[in-house]
Amino acid sequence: MPADMRARLGPLELPNPVLAAAGCAGAGRELAQFVDVARVGAIISKSIMTEPRTGNPAPRLAETPSGLLNSVGLQGPGIDAFLQRDLPWLLSHGARVVVSIAGQTVREYGALAARLSDAAGVSAVEINLSCPNAEDAGRLFALDPATAGSVVAAVRASLRYDIPVFAKLSPDVTDIVAVADACVTAGAGIALMPESVLDTMPQASVRRHPIPKAQAQLTTPLVWRRGEISPSVLALRTLLASLPKQKRAA
């Protein structure tokens, strides 16, 4: 008898716990060359904005011994093209779709959520909070609990009640649990911890070659073997354990 791989994320039930992270599967067509997208638990789209974006000029990728430096710049087709072309393609191939959204203002996030609320086949919405806030001198939404919470609240208020909301956080904060708590309180069912760690390369011990934009990302793999604990995982578990039980359950 085959193993039951079903996974539940809040109200969302998936056939298995494998999700293609935002950007890793493109619009789905790229991944479909190698695997049936219907067999993946869910496809998380590249972060979609209101208008099309070409992203940063090349070079914007660089390999490192620990992963990949990237400064893509949120390249994407915009919400209109996504709803007309990419989402129907994914659904026609049996994929479950989590739509990642990004914005420069709280209002833009809310407007994107409203568009998705009327779209059929959206399994969940991921809020990419690692975006510069145009109304706060370009400071990332994810850096402040109140600001992150206001984005989640705007999305939750504009989105159909039965579509779950995931908040994608940034590790570049002094208290990530406070940000996660604000997001869950504001209406996010799940707070996601990204693998990208900004500007972690030591200034003096490595030789640097500039890539476009001052803010780049270092993507590193996370492998956690059962029973083994790293300092980062231990610190996060300690912080989570300090929350009230009802907050941890949320």
Task: Report how far apart, in Å, the C-alpha atoms of 65 and of each of 35, 69, 150, 171 are.
Answer: 27, 10, 38, 21
Which tokens hold the place of 15?
Answer: 């056939």
First vs last Cα of the chain: how many Å apart? 33
Q: Which amino acid is at 208?
A: R
- CB-based burial, 112-123: b 16+ in 10 Å, e otherwise: bbebbbebeebb
Q: Look at phi and psi of residue 191 and say left if phi exceeds 0, alpha if psi is from -120 to 50, else beta.
A: beta
**CA–CA gap between residue 134 and residue 221 (Å, rounded):** 31
Q: If you search the block for the tokens 């990332």, which residue do you land on?
A: 140
Which tokens hold the place of 2?
Answer: 């085959």
131 is catalytic: yes
Task: Report how far apart, in Å, the C-alpha atoms of 140 and of each of 96, 102, 109, 113, 210 are.
Answer: 29, 11, 14, 19, 21
Which residue among the candidates 49, 101, 131, 154 is catalytic per the annotation? 131
Q: Look at phi and psi of residue 52 and say left if phi exceeds 0, alpha if psi is from -120 to 50, else beta.
A: beta
Which tokens hold the place of 206?
Answer: 């490595």
Indicate which residues carry an active-site annotation: 131
